[in-house]
Structure 1
Amino acid sequence: MSMSIQGRTAIVTGAGRGIGLAVAHHLVERGANVVFADRDEAALETVVADYDDDAHVLTFAGNMSEKLVMANLLSATLDSFERVDILVNAHRFVQGSDPLDTDPAVLEEMLRQNMICGLRLSQMVAKRMIRQAEDQRDLTQAGAIVNISTLAAIRPVPAMLGYSIACAAQEQATRGLALALAPHKIRVNGVSFSSVMSHELKLALKATPDLRDQIIAGTPLGRIAAADELAETVHYLVSDAARFVTGQILTVDGGRCLADPVTAQVL
């Protein structure tokens, strides 16, 4: 089955930098109409500056934690492209938290930014996808949603307990929404990553020079992947090649989740 997404319309959140930006660029290059959504308006203007006027791209700046902003994002998408076929929730917010004295406000913010926002936007977009399929009487494929998570969901980091909990909650939300939307022919999947060059990892590598060697040593494939490699996984999940795949969390981590951290240091 073809992986073509030519002419389909995608919304990508967190598209101002890092993983979200890589995914949005990749989908544009594969012929999709893409809405780059992020709260950083200046970053959005920079990342789309090199596109020709003929490129089917749209930028949307706003705080995705606000329901009205989500509604405006969907409206802007429909005004420009008349439909939405793909949603990639790539927005992430990372903040440390004391595992023994977690500030409730920090935990609530982690859950809101990394799970609740994506869930609400998915619900809103899914309703539109359902209406589109009904109008066109398309009973085979109504749309695809992908949530971006990290290995913290199954390998908790004590210093970022709130973020780890939020990632785990997001992955469970992915599975639950996949079941709920399957009768409507909307597929919902997740991508969990580690050892991939995200915006946050770039900052961490600058702050901790030895971190690169530690990550590589703990990754069986022995390197840090480019963000484009994760984008290719997202492309597969939103294409017809994955038409019978839903409720799955695909891990892109070079085998890191398989490695015993102690063994990795000894061998």
Structure 2
Amino acid sequence: MGFSVQGKTAIVTGAGRGIGLAIAQHFVQAGANVMFVDNDEESLERQMSDYDTENGPVRYFTGNICEKLCSANLLSATLDAFERVDILVNAHRFVKGSDPLDTDPSVLEEMLRQNMISGLRLSQMIAKRMIKQAEGQADVQQAGAIVNISNLAASRPVPDLLGYSIACAAQEQSTRGLALALAPHRIRVNGVRFSSVMSHELKCALKEDADLRDQIVSGTPLGRIAAADEVAEAVHYLVSEGARFVTGQVMTVDGGRCLADPVTAQAL
């Protein structure tokens, strides 16, 4: 079966920068049609300068996917451009600190809405389209693939990011639940959990803390910080036919850091 995504259509949220951008760019290089999605219009438009967004395999959509109507418009825009959708990657993340002993309920609600509920709603919407596309195609092993991007905070609680940790754990549970629900429809749902990856947030943290890089590297068995594209490669595997018997799993991409090093808010 191989690992090709040539000609497939992928929607990638959080594609304005960091890991989401790396995933979207990786898919373009692999020959897929890609809808870049982000709520930061300026950042997204800046990334689009290298692409033909009129006639090429790339389109972009700006909007707040926490809003149900926005998600519906995203799906419509993707179908207008490419006529189908085969892959969804929920890479949008929102991180905000909170007092573990006095967490503002609005912060927790925002973390859940941004990091879990929006992706779950979009996954449900896209899955219905995937099911419709696969009608009458009994010989097709894979009707679609969904990947949720999570964080090591899901299993290694970070007190100063209590709301974010809870949201990441909820997202991973939604990955498992959707995997079971969608398996009869030949749609696979998996996750990728990262930690010591050169994300936008980590770059900002490294600028503020001169010693943080050495702390992360010394606590990572593979002895370095991963590039965002290494997360993209893991996602590529999970959406490909090469992973056609893999569903409901959360792959950890952190160089073995979860095995050896305490997690801190600055290192996520």
Structure 2-normalised TM-score? 0.95
In the other structure, the counterpart of 2:19 is 19
Q: Distance in 2 between matches of 1:138 and 1:18?
A: 37
Q: Distance in 1 between matches of 2:262 and 2:98?
A: 23
The equivalences for 1:36-185 within 5 A come to 36-52=36-52, 55-185=56-186
Q: Distance in 2 between matches of 1:130 and 1:183?
A: 10
User: Do the aligned partners of 2:24 and 2:34 also contact (CA within 8 Å) in 1?
Assistant: yes
Q: Distance in 1 between matches of 2:134 and 2:210?
A: 51
Q: Identify if the C-alpha distance between structure 1 residues 126 and 199 changes in structure 2 by more than 3 Å, giving closer, same or farther.
A: same
Q: Distance in 1 between matches of 2:207 and 2:56?
A: 34
User: 1:45 Cα shift?
Assistant: 1.1
Q: Distance in 2 between matches of 1:137 and 1:245?
A: 19
3-state SS, counterpart of residue 160 of structure 1: helix
Q: Distance in 2 between matches of 1:215 and 1:161?
A: 21
Aligned residues: 262
Amino acid in the other structure paired with 1:224: I
Amino acid in the other structure paired with 2:99: D
Q: Distance in 1 between matches of 2:75 and 2:122?
A: 9
User: 1:141 Cα shift?
Assistant: 1.0
Q: Distance in 1 between matches of 2:221 and 2:261?
A: 10
User: 1:260 Cα shift?
Assistant: 4.9
Identical pairs, percent = 78
The one-character-per-residue Cα deviations of 1:1-41 (angstroms, maximum 9, x if unpaired) are 31110000000000000000000000000000000000011
The equivalences for 1:198-217 within 5 A come to 198-217=199-218
In the other structure, the counterpart of 1:28 is 28
The answer to which of 137-146 and 37-46 deviates more is 137-146
Q: Identify if the C-alpha distance between structure 1 residues 17 and 151 changes in structure 2 by more than 3 Å, giving closer, same or farther.
A: same
In the other structure, the counterpart of 1:6 is 6
3-state SS, counterpart of residue 170 of structure 1: helix
3-state SS, counterpart of residue 49 of structure 1: helix
3-state SS, counterpart of residue 165 of structure 1: helix
Unpaired segments ≥5 residues, structure 2: 264-268
User: Do the aligned partners of 2:96 and 2:161 also contact (CA within 8 Å) in 1?
Assistant: yes
Q: Identify if the C-alpha distance between structure 1 residues 135 and 74 changes in structure 2 by more than 3 Å, giving closer, same or farther.
A: farther
User: 1:227 Cα shift?
Assistant: 0.2
The one-character-per-residue Cα deviations of 1:50-73 (angstroms, maximum 9, x if unpaired) are 124653000000001000000000
User: 1:127 Cα shift?
Assistant: 0.2
Amino acid in the other structure paired with 1:169: A
Q: Distance in 1 between matches of 2:81 and 2:139?
A: 22
3-state SS, counterpart of residue 188 of structure 1: strand
Confirm or deny that 1:228 pairs with 2:229.
yes
Unpaired segments ≥5 residues, structure 1: 263-267
Structure 1-normalised TM-score? 0.96
TM-align CA RMSD: 1.3
Amino acid in the other structure paired with 1:2: G
Q: Identify if the C-alpha distance between structure 1 residues 258 and 34 changes in structure 2 by more than 3 Å, giving closer, same or farther.
A: same
Which portions of structure 1, spanning 4 or more consecutive aligned residues, are displaced by more than 6 angstroms?
none
User: Do the aligned partners of 2:220 and 2:261 also contact (CA within 8 Å) in 1?
Assistant: no
